[in-house]
Amino acid sequence: MTSPGRPVDAVFFDLFGTLLSLRPLDDACDRLAPGRGAEIAARWRARQLEASWLRTAMDRWADFDAVTVDTLRAVLDELGIATDDDLSALADAFRDLPLVAGAADAVTSLTEAGLATGVLSNASTATLARVAARLAVGFDHWLSVDAARRYKPHPSVYQLAVDATGLPAERIGFVTANGWDAAGGAAFGFRVAWLRPGPSGTVPPVGVPEPTIATWPEIPRMFTS
């Protein structure tokens, strides 16, 4: 049901780097090569996203858990780092990342205002289930790209939120800290709040509506008034 008194009726959130902080990955990776954790983690995340986009473009699906392990192995090879560690166990660090400050309060405010809320993530269904079980934040929807067998920013992924809520894209808000994801959501027709990670953060110049730059405390007001 839509409400004419507010701009949207549901708000979905990206997971990695938006709701969940990626900072602990530095420490996890430091165990592989002391002093190089931040370098490994940054390259791992970049390769992880590159692989997801390539798999979507080439129609070579593998879930995000597999992509995560594969790209970690590739990064270690690139950097010449040999290890006997179980890379699958290290990749589980993505399932245990902490909630960022301000996220829980923003989601609670939206729920109290009567909006549906959800997570729309590249994460696998199994990873989302584990995250949902440990976070003290209630969402109405936990949507994995597994259902689309494509990765963001493919339109079929954002369509999952439309299908789950029965709302048109323009009545759905989307929150992300990733510029490429902000571009994807805006292109699809969502009302996008971009948690710009710093003054050097940019949205790719791909001809999409500019997302609204916001902070966590500004999110409830943006979507309810």
Residues with catalytic function? 14
CB 43 within 8 A of CB 205: no
Kind and range of the H or E run holding 52:
helix 37-58
Here the tokens at position 111 are 């729920």
Rounded Cα distance between 41 and 39, Å, is 6
3-state secondary structure of 104: helix
Enumerate the H helices of 113-178 as residue ranges.
125-134, 155-165
Question: In angstroms, how far is CA 210 from the centroid of its own chain?
Answer: 19
Torsion, CA 203, CA 181, CA 46, CA 91, rounded to 10: 160
Rounded Cα distance between 28 and 77, Å, is 17
Rounded Cα distance between 24 and 37, Å, is 10
